[in-house]
Structure 1
């Protein structure tokens, strides 16, 4: 017989736990089940509201039993969904359990797009378990190849010490997922700065998934929860060379082949020298990477950080978005009745605000999880379909850190979907290490990138939302004492 619950949430990441915590608060009398493939779940702590839309928080890793003890009406099982019966509202798991729900929220996140899957010399970094694997390999390594140009790749390049690093980038500038080439050039000199040598104090526990699983009589095969915003601060990223750092970036390339030494020899590639490169010793390596520029590099292992795909395993017959995520409306409802989705697994299918876009980020995972819980409660208890979208979906706002610099992204920060119908104003403040870029369309601000301690985030947020006509300030807009002027 299936166990019955009012609410079931699948996924122990930020979206799932945020959803569960809000459900438990709103409905203390209703029983809630969280199904997590990992014994470690992640919740938000130290939430700071920097502006109306901009939030900064820490991610706290804890054993699932800690979450259970926090809320009397919450149960957690370490398991993985293997079957889904939407007609009877029943979930089956790989441990042969059945659970019946009234409302279901799918928060299974995303899985890394790993190049050369099942290759023992290629790892994708997504969760706590893969970070431990990376650490254990790196300590024995002289050289690694990092493939990708997003946040994880960038932070690894900045953090790794005592190991040669080759960074293969498909674009013509670093961190293109988040910032424009101008901002990349601003940050580039700081990539090898002293900041990476400092070990920050992080108020967060670090758990081993392997150790935490010893007491669990379960078997799961999926990835665990994604990493937290401060994961890199806890990483022990040291190899075994005597060099503190040695790095080479190769732009506008992709990986063509991952080869063994025997394959390299049989293809006659060993004689292809890479003279002029900082990493010019082919030698004998465990694995070789051939890039689309036909250059060949030997290394100890390859780190694949090339993005993610929504993890919709075991959930079929849903309407999907263009990126393969579960399509949801403004109430976070999927195409199947009484089933909601939040976080990386879903694709926003509602009419978006002119200044909001979906990116699979921690901030949006939390916001979507909370929004889904509100709508689930409204549908279950009061049958109220008037629950409105939270104001956070009016403006894209994200704060992160690259090379120890605070980076704030607002609105259409890279002119997304504006069809080149926009104007950029950029200001670099020498000495103070600040980079300010605003995106204007029709004389009104629609986006911004702020690097460093600019203290302009609230002002720019208001200018974007209020759509004040800034035409009269012309190209001198950023020469004003803008924070006081528009206070």
Structure 2
């Protein structure tokens, strides 16, 4: 087989890249190699601001992409850039003019045990559901988005949440925002706002996708066999050791020893401690240049150091001089942007046309939901790269909203918006425009003033 464009990976980055290629160069031959017959695609993107969208992700049969590309369900064993070919497990040799690697990332595993479940994809969630039918006590390890959502969704089980930081959800939230949400997770009271899903939901049976996505828990029952739900959080510690219980021990299945000296007895352990890029791809010739986080290094056009080979999504790490208010986090939103932008760069290289970098790389934006609250993160939302030289404006209404604005030299640098604040568009514009807010900073969060009137 031979293709003008070949994409490896059936996740969001790979499918977005294929969709972009089919749109930009409809007459070209496009191939997609995916290890599974199931792929993930963004089926709906509702614009919230200029750069931020509320996306819907659907797991679907890879065959549904056949109108745009030729789908090859196989595993790649090696790349031979000397002859522009990819070798697969089934013995195929597939030629390409331009190749894009969208192989994603794999979850970090802390211990190998039948009682330790690493949460990352649909299969692992189904395994957890099955185990919960007999579980009374669970240890959750991790402090990112999946661990946070998991603790909120679990019920009928005693939970010990082990976080390496001094506050929950440290990947996304500062201590103040964590405290705002923590009241909800620890109380689990009737006043907890119900999650309002504006996205469509999809049922998929027996499918194994590359990774979990937005609203992964919306159709999943995570209920144990205990009558009540109790949550204990162990802060500033990590797992030192996990030991399976003896067969004669009927009190639990596994023991978890923590670095703070405590030993926890539980039925299962759920691990959600981040990912490692799937960059260990065999290259016949000089290998890929890797960044310190093991991602494949790419330039401003998502090109690798290997000729005619691009990379996008979780597998890559940018080595260009990034914009002041953007940084990489291995999130679905960025995988989608990178996949689409990679298509633009590949077509530009084939047609010898200039390519302007996508505006999505100007500013970090992310929208998610924690504990039933809408969470929007903009720019340097945790004052990343600012050191200690910045100012914080804060407005908190317990159980309703949490607003934090980051200012430096009178200009907005980032924002954390929890709840229905309706100021995300204004904040995005102020970060992008770098308007001097010195004279109106005191009124920015005054609830009695419609601040948008200042900018009409």
Instruction: Tell me which interval the TM-score lies in, with the shorter structure as reference length.
Output: over 0.9
Is the alpha carbon distance of 1:196 and 1:186 closer, same or farther for their aligned partners in structure 2, counting shifts above 3 Å?
closer
What are the ranges of 5 or more consecutive residues in structure 1 without an aligned counterpart?
211-223, 266-281
* 1:378 maps onto 2:373 in alignment: no
Is the 2:403–2:417 contact (alpha carbons within 8 Å) kept by the matching residues of 1? yes
Counterpart among 299, 306, 325 of residue 329 in structure 1: 299
For each residue in 1:274-310, what CA deviation from the matched residue of structure 2 results, as whole angstroms up to 9, or x when unmatched?
xxxxxxxx96211110111111111111111000011
Is the alpha carbon distance of 1:295 and 1:9 closer, same or farther for their aligned partners in structure 2, counting shifts above 3 Å?
same
* 1:319 maps onto 2:289 in alignment: yes
Name the residue aligned to 2:231: 247
| SS of residue paired to 2:417 | strand
CA distance in 1, matches of 2:269, 2:211: 20
Is the 1:202–1:234 contact (alpha carbons within 8 Å) kept by the matching residues of 2? no
Is the alpha carbon distance of 1:429 and 1:481 closer, same or farther for their aligned partners in structure 2, counting shifts above 3 Å?
farther
Name the residue aligned to 1:400: 368
For each residue in 1:370-408, what CA deviation from the matched residue of structure 2 results, as whole angstroms up to 9, or x when unmatched?
00001101111x212x20111111111111111111111
Question: Mapping of 1:62-141 within 5 angstroms?
Answer: 62-68=60-66, 70-71=67-68, 74-116=69-111, 118-141=112-135
Question: Mapping of 1:40-439 within 5 angstroms?
Answer: 40-68=38-66, 70-71=67-68, 74-116=69-111, 118-191=112-185, 192-194=188-190, 202-209=200-207, 224-243=209-228, 245-262=229-246, 284-316=251-283, 317-380=287-350, 382-384=351-353, 386-430=354-398, 433-439=400-406
Equivalenced residues, count: 447
Is the alpha carbon distance of 1:48 and 1:28 closer, same or farther for their aligned partners in structure 2, counting shifts above 3 Å?
same
CA distance in 2, matches of 1:429, 1:150: 24
TM-score w.r.t. length of structure 1? 0.88
Name the residue aligned to 1:16: 14
State the Cα distance separating 1:474 from its structure 2 match.
4.4
State the Cα distance separating 1:96 from its structure 2 match.
1.7
State the Cα distance separating 1:156 from its structure 2 match.
0.5
TM-score w.r.t. length of structure 2? 0.94
State the Cα distance separating 1:260 from its structure 2 match.
2.2
Aligned-residue CA RMSD (Å): 1.9
State the Cα distance separating 1:462 from its structure 2 match.
0.7
For each residue in 1:116-154, what CA deviation from the matched residue of structure 2 results, as whole angstroms up to 9, or x when unmatched?
1x3222121111111111111122211111000000000
State the Cα distance separating 1:430 from its structure 2 match.
4.7
Is the alpha carbon distance of 1:198 and 1:407 closer, same or farther for their aligned partners in structure 2, counting shifts above 3 Å?
closer
For each residue in 1:437-461, what CA deviation from the matched residue of structure 2 results, as whole angstroms up to 9, or x when unmatched?
0111111101000011111011011
CA distance in 1, matches of 2:452, 2:404: 15
| SS of residue paired to 2:412 | strand
* 1:465 maps onto 2:438 in alignment: no
| SS of residue paired to 2:269 | strand
* 1:441 maps onto 2:421 in alignment: no
Counterpart among 33, 36, 49 of residue 34 in structure 2: 36
